[in-house]
Amino acid sequence: MKIEATALPDVLILTPARFGDERGFFSESWNRKALAEAGLDLPDFVQDNHSMSRRAGTVRGLHYQAPPFAQGKLVRCGRGALLDVAVDARRGSPTYGRWVAVQLSHDNGRQLWIPIGFLHGFVTQEPDTEIIYKCTAHYDRASDGAVRWDSLGIDWGVDDPLLSNKDRDAPPFAEWTSPFEYRTAA
């Protein structure tokens, strides 16, 4: 497993090895022991989600789940390609409001670790794109929230995205009060 840092501390790119031949490939997308041996100890995952977007240019996000049901996510692309975005939403963080965007695709096999305290969103770059992600907390409807996708200067690469009403009506980042607080290691 290749582990790469991003411009945001704690947000990581994980790329599992692929073993392929004329039949296709095999990849071990998650292995706690291998990650621990590489020095990465991620929290336990309790839920897997799978989403498919029919149209390229579909934006989903920026989403979060507030404490005490906040979620860390390990995100990958099962089919197609997407630009995955994480935004630091931890009040008091030196990188508060900054974002990182990483292309995830079926072809590149990359995964993005998005810890608790970060907003998450993505835009599909191909039709019928599937995103698969592990979560560290179960879904809780009352804790579910969104921040407007175009309120942070993120270059999504689309002019006229397909949006849900939730994402279209979400408050802009500057008018939103984050439920997350930055904590330094003691």
Residues with catalytic roles:
63, 133
Query: What are 83's strand-pairing partners?
Result: 103, 123
Confirm if 83 and 99 have CB atoms less than 8 A apart.
no
Which residue type sits at 104? L
Pair type for strands 90-91 and 18-21: unpaired
